[in-house]
Amino acid sequence: MATASKVCLTVNEKPEYFRQGILEGSANTTSKLLQKNHDEHHVFFNKDGFHNHIAHHLLTLWALRAEPEDIQKAYNVNEGYQRSLKSTEHSVTEDMRNPEKFSSHLGDGNYYHDFLLFFQEEIARSSWQEVVRDYLFAGDEQADDLLARLFGGFLHPIIHFGFGVEFHQPAIIAEGLAQAAVHGNYMCKLFVPAEKAAERRASEEPKTMVELLDAIHADKEMCEAPKWSDANKLRDGIFGRAADQMVEVASQFRLKPGELERKTAEMTNATAYYTAGAQRADKIIKFDFFYMHCVNCSIFFSAFLKQEWLGDAHKVRILEWKVRNDLAMYASRKSPDIRLDIIRAYTPKEPSGWDEIEDRVCRLEDDGHASKLVRALAHGQRICEPYGDREEFRIKHDDWLQMGHMAIDSVEHPSQNWVRSAGFDEAWQSIPARAQL
């Protein structure tokens, strides 16, 4: 049985998207390796805050019906560079029950293990659902701060947390909450003002996500805000130089509880649209590394919808925050042209269905980003299908498989796996050329 400190996968508890025929042996191998990662490794593998993706990778491979040996190989490839957990003084964890002491340790990666033990103990005292309600959705200053941190680090904490929810693993949820606690809260600069501005717009007709992407693309000042030299183009570029414009745009997206399912699909469709469409006609296909995280995160919002313990108002809020994050992320890479024509004209290296693409990505030697992308795209096709005739769903049925082929072909190419900041000419300089379309 899965607990706050024990990972235990079973073939009877299915995630949001999976392939039929998952092996019991794969569940056992994945559980064992996730437990090892949980007990031994830090969430950052270096002092610069680069993320440990082992949990994401192995859970994704398991859902895609990978063989035990493929799961073991994926772990072996990524274990060697991980950072070990330090020992924790229990008194520090106890101190965290004091809100002031809790807040004093936020944003400091040295306290990851302390936060992990703290959230494990909190979950063991009650339930993971109650802990999540108290620490993320209470609506007070502390909860709003931690909820914003959940979106920090280019969505890594919420991706990690989402895996825990989707795969029914309290230990992974505890890791995700602890990971959020050691990230910065600069996303508050968008979420809080945009939420207040959206309330003032209550009488206005809200915009769709793609309408707002078009508006961002057409805004020259917003386009020029991020600079190639920025260490963090979202924080320093968009929030540093165009915060008011970004809030103005982001506040125009709002939704009602009755729209949750459709708007979750809309968010998934729009993030796939700009992530796959941010291409150059004279370069081989490469997905933007930062945009890709917005797609990879989308799958968990379908899982959040199914959480009966979470009220509709909270589901609305976290989805609005996700969309506003994704709009700002698009702007942060210099708002590139979105080339739907390139998606539709693409010729796959090995034409096939999803099964073959998923088999290929299970064998790929990487850190899990590619397999997460393939799974999220396959899931996106499924949830967007009922809305294919709506104008705001620019990615249509056949486009999803095209994007799946683009994704696997691009990471199997011997060049670098991703382009980083697709709107900048500098980002494409090292990407190989291709024939002009």
Q: What is the pLDDT along the chain (437 residues), one digit of tens a residue?
A: 999 999 999 999 899 999 999 989 999 999 999 999 999 999 999 888 889 999 999 999 999 999 999 999 999 999 999 999 977 667 788 889 999 999 999 999 999 999 999 999 999 999 999 999 999 999 999 999 999 999 999 999 999 999 999 999 999 999 999 999 999 999 999 999 999 999 999 999 999 999 999 999 999 999 999 999 999 999 999 999 999 999 999 999 999 999 999 999 999 999 999 999 999 999 999 999 999 999 999 999 999 999 999 999 999 999 999 999 999 999 999 999 999 999 999 999 999 999 999 999 999 999 999 999 999 999 999 999 999 999 999 999 999 999 999 999 999 999 999 999 999 999 999 999 987 43
End-to-end CA distance of the chain: 54
Asked if 151 and 158 touch (Cβ cutoff 8 Å), the reply is yes
What does the pLDDT read at residue 433?
Answer: 96
What does the pLDDT read at residue 91?
Answer: 73
Model pLDDT for residues 198-253, shown as the tens digit of each residue? 999 999 999 999 999 999 999 999 999 999 999 999 999 999 999 999 999 999 99
What does the pLDDT read at residue 49?
Answer: 82
What does the pLDDT read at residue 436?
Answer: 47
What does the pLDDT read at residue 89?
Answer: 66
Model pLDDT for residues 108-124, shown as the tens digit of each residue? 999 999 999 999 999 99
What does the pLDDT read at residue 95?
Answer: 87
What does the pLDDT read at residue 437?
Answer: 39
pTM above 0.85, yes or no: yes
Torsion angle of the four alpha carbons 206, 210, 213, 218, in this order, in degrees rounded to the nearest 10:
-90
Asked if 388 and 397 touch (Cβ cutoff 8 Å), the reply is yes
Asked if 404 and 354 touch (Cβ cutoff 8 Å), the reply is yes
